[in-house]
Amino acid sequence: MSEFGLTTAIGTVSGQDRTRLKKDLKSVIDRSATARPEQRTEAIRQFFAKLTAAERASLAIEQPDVVGRLDGAPATVRYAANRLLIERALAHEQKDLAALKASDPKNPQVTLLEKRVARMAEFLQPRVTGDGRSVPRQFLLFDPAGDGRVAEVFGDLAKAKHVAVMVPGITNRLDNYDSIANDAVALLKDRASGGELPESAVITWLGYDTPEFGDSVLPTKAKAGAPALHSFRAGLEAVKGAKFALFAHSYGTLLSSKALQEGTPFDSVVFMGSPGLGPTIKSAADLKLKPATQVFAMRAPGDWVSYTEAHGRDPAEMADIRRLATGRSSGHSEYYIPKNTSLDNLQTILTGDGCVQTFMGSPKLDDEQFGAANVRVLVKELQSRVPQWKAGELATAFEPIIKGVMNGGTDIPTLVALTTKTLADSGLGGYFASQDIAQIVGRSLTEAGPNQR
């Protein structure tokens, strides 16, 4: 408790008072359950504002699973509650891992459990900042269920005038969370001093069930996660006048688009490597953001996720969205690499200090990456012929072919043969006649272009 500025004198809270506190908190949560996130989180804030430090600590200890994820509760209380949850989850999964190694050491679940245990053990260790300070890790959310959900604060949120919320995309889970954390560290690092950007904080929000490749073409998990992001943002506390930036990547851009359409407020938004913001979003104006919201997009050469436009038009090509330069970034996962233009741009947007570097290249897709325009046509034509619930299987099966097209080594006969075989192997061949395949492939290699939407 003391590590996060809370009193440890919980012995001053009687058993009767602890019972009352739990009952009163449940009552506030139940009464505001159907309210908008802003009203619900404000009710939670007011409840905790009336409590003593000892009473807050008591709730964190006795109900960490409730308090740790409670949007609107003080950040320090959530940090303490989630630390307890991490300790308990780590002990539980260490026992599971030991038992599995003893009974079935070759089980593939052993590797997964080892990675999860390693991540949780890291969470309990102090984080060393760029200037050598050792600080406790701060979690606003920790839930080990399923693939796991995590939200971590880097920096001092209570003093930050500039706050970035990072929303990742597909295949991000508790076991590989360290890659997201590394991006956050890079974003917060001040290149000039080697320490952390002054008056700034970065939050990683892995607060939804991210899809795998198979279901990434479906909007289901984005729709389910958008209200959670809205609530999380409403519950954040910061200094008066603080500016909030939303940095969304990959499938996280689709979720963020839906959260923004719900009215989730951010002062600036960056969409990176986006597969589209939804079929009805043709421009930033369609998001209906509050006036003066700045909207940017990044697309690095070779980012095939953006090329597919699996969920609508790429925001990097929308006229009212400012496309930013990405420097040495390439592919889908290099937007946060250190000492690079894309990271410089993100830091400039976070701090509001300096000018961003805009994209100055050719607007033609194939000038940026050979085969990119072909990929768009191929994916759209294939998806239009299978039921929606089969789209995920289609995406998984065709990922190697998509990369092959962009590598430039696939002519029409080869692509027809590969497409036919892939459809047959995946059990999707019944949706296509042989002439359909030839027609689709021919169109993808001859009719592609930036206007083929």
Residue-wise pLDDT tens digits, 16-26: 888 999 999 99
Residue 63 three-state SS = coil
- Residues 6 or more apart from 44 whose CB is under 8 A from it? 28, 29, 32, 70, 71, 72, 73, 235
Residues linked to residue 295 through DSSP beta bridges, in sequence order: 269
- Residues 6 or more apart from 368 whose CB is under 8 A from it? 299, 301, 361, 362
Quote the tokens at residue 257.
């688009």
| CA dihedral over 4, 9, 12, 14, signed as positive or negative | positive
CB atoms near residue 252 (< 10 Å) = 28
State the pTM of this model. 0.92
Distance CA 452, CA 450 (A): 6
Supply the pLDDT for residue 451.
Answer: 41
Q: For residue 76, give the amino acid letter.
A: T
Half-sphere exposure of 182 (CA within 13 A, CB side): 11
- Residues 6 or more apart from 79 whose CB is under 8 A from it? 4, 136, 138, 139, 140, 153
Q: For residue 342, give the amino acid letter.
A: S
Residues of the chain falling short of pLDDT 50 = 449-453
Helix (H) or strand (E) holding 177: none
CB 342 within 8 A of CB 326: yes
DSSP strand E in 258-359: where?
268-272, 294-298, 322-323
Distance CA 257, CA 260 (A): 5
Supply the pLDDT for residue 284.
Answer: 97
Helix (H) or strand (E) holding 266: none
Strands across the sheet containing 322-323: 138-143, 149-155, 200-206, 162-167, 243-249, 268-272, 294-298, 322-323
Distance CA 453, CA 407 (A): 22
Supply the pLDDT for residue 174.
Answer: 98
